[in-house]
Amino acid sequence: MNKVLIVIGDATETLDTMYPYYRLQEAGFEPVVTAPEKRRYQLVLHEVKPGWTITKEWEGYTLDCDVPFSEVREEEYAGILFSGGRAPEYIRYDPHLVRITRHFFEMDKPIASVCHGVEIPAYADCVRGRRMATVPKCRFDLEVCGGIFVDEPCVIDRNLFSGRTFHDNGYYIGPWIAALQARRGQ
């Protein structure tokens, strides 16, 4: 299996998404973008500016959905990435996304999660007892669903690879791709 799902929605973080998208291609995988419906989605850039206490947001690139949640056949995919940004807060309730998410956890396929991406597996009841990194403001979402917050750039818990923000891309994406390659038999 060479296909890997990337979960997005409007206001998904640009670097959380595009860095792993191109790294997957470099490693010989086919990144497949999935979202609530088949259309173009607006990505955003997030940063806490000096002197600010909240995140500032700018429009980033746009990205097309290849396959909507309702049409995903999860058994065809080697792994999944839950990208960050504000999108996970809104898309996590989709019953098809919950089904998809549970499949990857139940089958121990390589899973990556960054920033707000944690909100999806948390809602799907997949983080109980699992160690994960996430942006500190999502710590509550993780812990209230039984997960264990770890403030590090790369947290590996069996098949789950997580980072806090796009600043951690260089730490957790490589080990996740290595796990995908190992599962593929490379």
Query: What pLDDT is attached to residue 186?
Result: 61
- Over residues 37-84, the pLDDT tens digits come to 999 999 999 888 888 888 888 999 999 999 999 999 999 999 999 999
Q: What percentage of the chain has pLDDT greater than the value 90? A: 92
Q: Binning pLDDT at 50, 70 and 90, where does residue 168 land?
A: very high
Q: Where are the domains of the chain?
A: 3-184
CA 120 to chain centre: 8
Buried b (16+ CB within 10 A) or exposed e, 111-122: bbbbbbbbbbbb
The 8-class DSSP code of residue 37 comes to S
**Taking the model in full, what pTM does it have?**
0.96
What H or E segment, with its residue span, contains residue 101?
helix 95-106
How far are the Cα atoms of 57, 112, 125, 153 from residue 136, in angstroms, in the given order? 17, 17, 20, 12
* CATH number attached to the domain at 3-184: 3.40.50.880
- Over residues 71-123, the pLDDT tens digits come to 999 999 999 999 999 999 999 999 999 999 999 999 999 999 999 999 999 99
The 8-class DSSP code of residue 185 comes to T
